[in-house]
Amino acid sequence: MTQSDAELVMLAQAGDAAALGALLARHEAGMRAVAVSVLGYGPDAEDAVQDTMVIALRRIGEVRDPSAVGPWLRAIVRNNSRMALRGPRAVPVAEPEWFAGPADTPTPEEALDRAVMRDWVWHSIGQLSEPDRLVTLLRYFSDASSYEQIAAVCGVPVGTVRSRLSHARRALAGDLRTAASTAHADVTTSNDSRWREGRDMIATAMDGDFERVVRASWWPDAEMVVPGGPRGGRDLAINGMNRDLAAGVRQRLRNVVASGDVLIWETDLISPPDDPEHCPPAALWLQVLREGRVRQLTLFHPVPARV
């Protein structure tokens, strides 16, 4: 007996990857028809459909009316397609307000938990190549989510970002279409450990001992990159942090995203009271690891999305 949309949504919300895969396969033609009607045939329309599939991975738990999941998916595609006509956007557009869940803003921990509540999502992301995984994490789990900002962080052209994202989304969608209801490793313990580690390291840095953090957790030949700025090694990072601390700048960890050998910290930068414009409002620490230690750090200041 064929399961209804409502039944598949409820199974997907309970963590059944196969149910979500079946649901997306059922509505893929309708989603593509909407995208083509707005954007015409071509890669932009396919991007809109793939973006919607990834949004569904993260937000299926927010669907209030399981029987209306088809219109929910098509509305996301339509909004994304219309935004694509207007030029680059900061983040993929989500569902219209009348489909959304509660309007209260989650804490960073709650937002991350909602995004990773299904271990199979992170299992699939973990199977991507490092370049594809990196752009996926930035696009869907960080503030540096526009194509242009991802390109700046990664040091590659926008076209390369686009092709890597397309490849990653195809892989994730393919995993969903063939997903089985098998158990994957519980990511909760790992994520909690990354959060504790990040908080401890930032706290140590704020106490004026960032050098100890770097010496303990970075490889001696680790590289630091500031897009559009200097490149160097561990001393560049230590000296930069010491200058900020001397100027009265503080940092507060706001978000942690990790998959395999890619670790992202997002921090709020707090300027000194007597110089409120001293620094940008936030920083993104993109850390590429080797055997658990940093081999490269890219420090980037995301541009806030325009409302």
Mean pLDDT of 3-13: 88
Domains of the chain, CATH where assigned: 1-87 (1.10.1740.10), 188-300 (3.10.450.50)
Question: Confidence class of residue 73 from pLDDT cuts 50, 70 and 90?
Answer: very high
Total count of residues recorded for the chain? 307
Q: What confidence score (pLDDT) does residue 106 get?
A: 43
Q: Shortest CA distance to 123 belongs to which of 279, 264, 15, 276?
A: 15
Contact between 213 and 204 under an 8 Å Cβ cutoff? The reply is yes
Q: Would you say the pTM of this structure is higher than 0.85?
A: no
Return the percentage of the chain with pLDDT > 70, whole number. Answer: 82
Q: List the single range of 37-46, 73-82, 158-167, 233-242 with lowest mean pLDDT.
A: 37-46
Is 188 a residue whose pLDDT tops 70? no
Residues whose CB falls within 8 Å of the CB of residue 22, separated by 6 or more in sequence, listed in order = 3, 8
Is 178 a residue whose pLDDT tops 90? no
What are the percentages of helix, strand and coil residues in the chain, rounded to 5?
55, 15, 30
Question: How many Å apart are CA 294 and CA 219, to the nearest integer?
Answer: 6
Q: What confidence score (pLDDT) does residue 232 get?
A: 96
pLDDT digits (tens, 9 = 90+) for 27-68: 989 999 999 998 888 878 888 888 888 778 778 888 889 999
